[in-house]
Amino acid sequence: MNIEIFTLCDAATDQRGKLNILGAFDTVWSKQTPIQYPQCAIALRVRFTAIERGRHAVAVNFVDLDGKPLIPAANGAIEIKFPDDQRSGVANMIFNIQQMKIPKFGVYSIDLAIDSRNETSLPLFVKDQNPVAT
């Protein structure tokens, strides 16, 4: 298994296996908190080899540094099927997030687990855009 794409973005679509990503980012700037982030998406593309065909559990958790969830965990499963004459196949997944509440400035983590194994994480930096007087 190879994670080809795992990103936080403004929007994503999957059109017959083609993953379209708009506006990938890792930083949100704001003048104050809490922040009500209107819309974003987590886009994921995973390549599986022939011996990995079958059902796989997928979990995405969006948490603060203390492990407290920012949004409810996204848990699901994917069924990997592709023709015998192919060496590998991909699965695209999109997790749309609406009206996400970000309570304070800091660093957050988007964690990906496949088959109960942590595969990778993305940071989200939430920064104060007000200049600090020195």
CATH code for position 39: 2.60.40.2550
Question: 130 falls in which pLDDT band (50, 70, 90)?
Answer: confident
- Structural domain includes residue 133: no
- Structural domain includes residue 51: yes
Instruction: For residue range 51-93, list pLDDT tens digits in order.
Output: 999 999 999 999 998 999 999 999 999 999 999 999 999 999 9
- On whether the CB atoms of residues 102 and 70 are closer than 8 A, the answer is yes
- Structural domain includes residue 107: yes
Q: What is the DSSP string of 17-57?
A: TEEEEEEE-SEEEESSSSEEEEEEEEEEEEEEEGGG-EEEE
Range of the domain at 7: 2-128
Residue in 4, 115, 92, 107 with CA at minimum distance from that of residue 41: 92
Instruction: For residue range 90-127, list pLDDT tens digits in order.
Output: 999 999 999 999 999 999 999 999 999 999 999 999 99
Q: How far apart are CA 69 and CA 41, in angstroms?
A: 16
Residue 11: pLDDT over 90: yes
- Structural domain includes residue 134: no
Q: How far apart are CA 95 and CA 16, in angstroms?
A: 17
* Structural domains of the chain, count: 1
- Structural domain includes residue 60: yes
- Structural domain includes residue 112: yes
Question: 133 falls in which pLDDT band (50, 70, 90)?
Answer: low
User: What pLDDT is recorded for position 85?
Assistant: 95
- Structural domain includes residue 116: yes
User: What pLDDT is recorded for position 49?
Assistant: 97
- Structural domain includes residue 113: yes
